[in-house]
Amino acid sequence: MFFLTDDRMPLPEPVFADENGLLAIGGRLTLKRLIEAYSKGIFPWFSEGDPVMWWSPDPRMVLFPDKVKISKSMRQWFRKHNDYRFTRNMAFDQVIDSCAKVSRKGQRGTWITQEMREAYSELHRNGLAVSYEVWNSAGRLVGGLYGVDLKNGVFSGESMFHIEANVSKAALIYLCRTAGDYGYRIIDAQVYTPHMNSMGAQLIPRKQFLQYLK
């Protein structure tokens, strides 16, 4: 594990991460640093009050868009909610704010700090972070997700939210269905979660994931 005492220090290579995937501690979430990190398969993840922690886990959880699992119940959901609207990059700030504020079962607080919100909003203003939104028939934003897009064929998912049942799943399915329009060959889910596994995501060696970034 490395300590970054100066923002001009380059991030270490992912191979130096510890067994949990922690690679380095310190530095700031500058635009330059975030671009460097994601291009190397590294992402920040830390709690309010902690220093910035940089991660590159092995194995890596990824979802190939054409392998997304659409359950029978989700197919019924799409038929029932055919008046819902799906958009891309129409409400980035609303999406990231909702991801930070919407409560989740078994989770206290949020890891999306104000520093993170500002940093990813800057990425968005530079065309390197995007959001996907779901609007109900009344025109209310009821779910969505956001992530990093460095134009390298990888969508690095960061967080999702829903205030109606199944809507975050619907947003992910919409992302997968339209992935080819934006050149996404793989969706980076970072670490294993039962939810992403149920959607068809799988663990692959970090070395293999880094090849996709190249």
- 129 C-beta neighbours (distance < 10 Å), count: 24
pLDDT, the chain, mean: 94
Structural domain boundaries of the chain?
2-57, 61-213
Spatial distance between the Cα atoms of 12 and 23, rounded to a whole number of angstroms: 7
CATH architecture of residue range(s) 61-213: 3-Layer(aba) Sandwich (3.40)
What predicted TM-score, i.e. pTM, was given to this entire model? 0.94
List 60's β-bridge partners, or say none: 204
Spatial distance between the Cα atoms of 68 and 30, rounded to a whole number of angstroms: 33
**Tokens for 70?**
């659409």
19-28 tens-digit pLDDT: 999 999 999 9
33-72 tens-digit pLDDT: 999 999 999 999 998 899 999 999 999 999 999 999 999 9
CATH number attached to the domain at 2-57: 3.30.70.3550
